[in-house]
Chain A
C-alpha cells in the first residue's frame, strides 16, 4: 500500500456526500429525459432547438469527424470503425495530465501501472509484461512507437504535454489495412493544437501531492498567408510517495518501505510550424523515473534503481488538394529513441540495460473522389530502421551488445464505395514487406448502413498484424537467462464487429458493439526445456468475445456525459484458461456539469475495473476509482483547476509482472492537483 492516502478523512467524507448529491441530481435529471426521448415520436427529430440558436452559437456546434479511420476526414458515423473522440475540452474538464489518464477513461480500455510504465489493455487483452506494442500511437499522423520494443509510451514519457492536444481519435479494431504494423487493437491518433488556438503566450503552473511541480510555457500564433506556429516547453518533477510492499516486509528491507524511490522528472519540447501546404513538426521528451518495486531482483529500497527514456521525432508533412480533385499527402519522418535502466544488485554489481534506435521513413498517399460513388485512397510507405541496438552490461562484463537494422515497405488502397445513398461499403487492403520475416497482407471490409439519420449499423471484418520487435527477436544476455529467436513470425488478429449507433434524442447517442477477436501466433516469453533459457516464441491462440455499450452526448442544459460498460471474455485456446490481467467488466462514467458560476465546470469520472487474474492465479479486487475536477475561468486570461484523484481513497492494485516479487502492485491513494493557466494575447 502506498503511503499515499493523505489522511484527510473529513474532506473525503464531505466530498463523498457531495458526490452522492451530484449523482442523485444526475439520476433525477436523466430519468424523465429518457422517457421523453422514448415518447418523443411527435417531436420532429431534427433537433429543433438548433433553430433557436444564434449564428455565433451555431459556429460553436461540433460536427464529429475523424481523420485516422480512413486517413482523410470523414464523419464518425461513416467511419469503418468504432470511434471515440476526446477533445481539449475533455482534457481540461477532467484534469488529465498524461495520455494514460485520458485513455483509461475510454470505453473498453484499462491501464496497468507497475510504478514505472503504464500499459494499455484493450477489450480484455493486456498481458502482463507486454510493451504496448499492439496499439499504434500517432502524433499528427506520425508513428511514435519506438523501434526496439515497438512500445507506445503513454505516461509522462509520452512525446507531448497533453495540454497541447486538440483532439484524440481512438479508432478501435484492426487498422493494418491502412497502417500496417501495431494497428492491432486500436489506432490512437493524437492531433495537436494549432498556433491559432493559443493566439499568444500561455503559461501553466501546477502543484500536486508528493511535492509535484509542473511548469509549461507555450506560444502560438497564426500569421496569415497560411503561416502558423506553436512552440511549447514543459518541465515536471515529483518526489513521489514512499511506497510499502508487503513482500519485502522484513527488517532487512526497511520493513517493506521503499522511501524516495518513486520519484519522477520529465521535460518536453514541442515545435510546429505550418507554412502553406508544408508543416514541420519537432518533438523531444526526456524522462527519468525511479523504480520502487525492486523489479528484476534488484536491491529493495535503493533509490539508484531507475530508468530513463529519451525520444525525438522530426517530421515534415506536405498536404495539398489539387484542382483535379486529388488530395495528396507526403511525409518525411525521423525518429530516435533511447531507453536506459540502472539496476542495483547485491554486492558491488550494478547492471545497465539499454536500447537505442533511430529510423527514417517516407510516405505518399493520394485520395480522390472518383465519382459520386467512389472515394479512393492509396499510398506507399517506406521505413528504414537504421539502428535497433540493445545493450546489457554490469561491472563484471558486457553481456549484450546487439546492433541491428531492418527495413519495410507497405502499399495500401481503400475504396469508400457509396453503394446507394444509405449504404457505404468500405474496403481496404494493405501489403507489407519486412526484411525480417517477409510479407503480410491485411484486408478490412466495413459495411455501413444508415437506416435513418438516427440509426446506423456497421458490420466490420478485418485482420491486422504485429511484427516481432527487435527486442523479442534479438534480446539475450549471453546464455544467462534469455536467448534470441530471429525466426519469429508476426502475430495476427482477425476481428469481427457489429456496431449499432442510435440517436436517442436530446443530444444523446447510444452505441452497442459486439466483437470477436481471434489472435494467432501470439508471441510470448517461454522457457526452452532444452536449456532452461527464456525465449520468445509464436505460441498461443487467443479468443476474446465481448459486448460494449455507450451513451454519450451533450444535453441541452450544458451537461455532457459519456457512460460505458464493456463485458469481455478472453481466453487462451491452447491452455483453455482465461487470460491474466483481463477484467471481465469495465464500466466508466464521465460527467461534465456546468456550475452556477459562469464558465465553471465540474468534471467527474467514475471508473470500475473488475477483478483481474494475477500471474500466480489469484485475483486483484474489482475497484471503483473516482476523480473529480473543478475547472473555471476566473478572469478572461486566467483559468484555475483543482483535481482530486482517487476521491474515495480506494486501495486497489494492478497485477505485477514476471519481474516483480509483488503479485499485486498497489496504486496511489487520494492525491490532489492544483493548476493555474494564464494567457497573454
Chain B
C-alpha cells in the first residue's frame, strides 16, 4: 500500500511538469453564455470611440476558459471583432511585481477599457478590491462565485441541476451605465433590483 501511495504521489508531482491547463466543457458553455450576453446588454455610447473598434473580453486571474474563447476570435458582432485579454490575478501580481493594491496596477487603464471582465475564482479574496475602483466604468463584470453580486458584480453564474444558470444585479448594472435587456433579465434565476434592497427570486 505504501509503495502504491508513494508511486501515485511521485507521479502526481512529475505530472505537473507536463500538460496544459484544463477545465471541462463547463467553461465552454459559460463562454457561449458570455458571447450571448453581448447581444442583450447595451453599453453607453462613447462619442470618442471608433464604432468599429473591437469588443474586448478580459479574464482576470487564473483563466479557467483555456481555449474556450478561441472560436470567438473568428466571430464578429456587427462589424466589430472580439478580442480576448487576460490579466494577472492580484496575488500573482503581488508575488511577481510587488504590487499589493489593485488601484496601483499599471494595467488599470487597460482593464477599464474592457467591455466584459470575467473575475476568475482565484480572485475570490480580492473581489471587492477589483470591483470598487471600476464600479462606475461601463464594464460588464462576470464571475461564478457566491457573493459576487453582493460585492458589486453584474452577472454571476451558478450551477443548478447540472445546468448553467445566471443571476444578475440590476443595481450594479445601473451604476456601470449598462442596460440589460428584459429578455435577459427574464432568464436570470435571481435579480437584485436597482431601486430597493429587495431581491426578486423566481
Contact = CB atoms under 8 A, between A and B. Distances in A.
B35 A461 contact: no
B92 to A, nearest CB: 11
B19 A447 contact: no
Interface stretch (A58-66, A98-106, A175-183): A58-66
B28 interface: yes
A458 to B, nearest CB: 11
A449 B163 contact: no
Contacts of B22: 421-422, 450-453, 456
A45 interface: yes
A377 B75 CA distance: 43
Nearest to B1: A443
A451 B29 contact: no
Among B22, B40, B71, residue most surrounded by chain A Cβ atoms (within 10 Å): B22
A25 interface: no
Interface size class of A (residues with CB under 8 A): 35 or more
Given A45-B67, A46-B70, A56-B187, A450 B19 contact: yes
Given A50-B29, A50-B32, A422 B24 contact: no
A446 B67 CA distance: 26
A22 interface: no
Contacts of B187: 55-56, 59
Contact of A422 (B15, B29, B159): B15
A55 B159 contact: no
Nearest to B159: A63
A445 B122 CA distance: 26
Contacts of A50: 28-29, 31-32
Nearest to A454: B22
A487 to B, nearest CB: 26
Contacts of B184: 55
A1 B69 CA distance: 60
Interface string A444-482: 011101111100100101010000000000000000000
B26 interface: yes
A418 to B, nearest CB: 10
Contacts of A419: 12-13, 15-16
B159 A65 contact: yes
Interface string A28-65: 00000000000000001111101101111011111111
Contacts of B29: 50, 58, 61, 63
Given A58-B33, A452-B22, A51 B75 contact: yes
Contacts, number: 133
B33 A55 contact: yes
Interface string B1-39: 100110011011101101111111110110111011000
A63 B19 contact: no
A132 to B, nearest CB: 28
B165 A59 contact: yes
Nearest to B37: A55
B72 interface: yes
Contacts of A423: 12, 15-16, 19
A453 B67 contact: yes
B180 to A, nearest CB: 12
A599 interface: no
A128 to B, nearest CB: 32
A425 interface: yes
Nearest to A457: B15
A62 B163 contact: yes
Contacts of B75: 51
Contacts of B15: 419, 422-423, 447, 449
Nearest to B26: A63
B72 A51 contact: yes
A432 B162 CA distance: 33
A351 to B, nearest CB: 47
B103 interface: no
A63 B8 contact: no
B4 A51 contact: no
Interface string A605-637: 000000000000000000000000000000000
Interface in B50-108: 62, 66-72, 75
Nearest to A43: B71
A597 interface: no
Interface in A524-540: none
A46 B21 contact: no
Nearest to B63: A421
B110 interface: no
B164 interface: yes
B31 A46 contact: yes
B31 A58 contact: no
A224 B69 CA distance: 37
B24 A77 contact: yes
A461 B163 contact: no
Among A77, A321, A449, residue most surrounded by chain B Cβ atoms (within 10 Å): A449
Contact of A453 (B4, B13, B24, B159): B24
A456 B67 CA distance: 16
B122 A372 contact: yes
Contacts of A45: 67, 70
Nearest to A53: B32
A167 B163 CA distance: 13
A321 B13 CA distance: 32
B13 A451 contact: no
Contacts of A166: 161
A18 interface: no
A47 B8 contact: no
A75 interface: yes
A321 B69 CA distance: 32
B201 interface: yes
B183 to A, nearest CB: 8
Interface in A57-85: 58-65, 73, 75-78
Contact of A461 (B8, B13, B162): B8
A574 to B, nearest CB: 23
A420 interface: yes
A46 to B, nearest CB: 5
A287 to B, nearest CB: 31
Given A64-B162, A425-B12, A456-B22, 18 more contacts: A45-B70, A46-B70, A51-B31, A58-B29, A58-B33, A59-B187, A61-B163, A75-B24, A166-B161, A419-B16, A420-B16, A421-B62, A422-B20, A447-B8, A452-B22, A453-B23, A453-B24, A461-B4
28 contacts: A44-B71, A45-B67, A46-B67, A46-B68, A46-B70, A50-B28, A50-B31, A51-B71, A51-B72, A51-B75, A53-B32, A58-B33, A59-B165, A61-B164, A62-B163, A63-B24, A63-B164, A64-B24, A76-B24, A321-B146, A422-B15, A422-B16, A445-B8, A447-B15, A451-B18, A453-B24, A459-B11, A461-B8
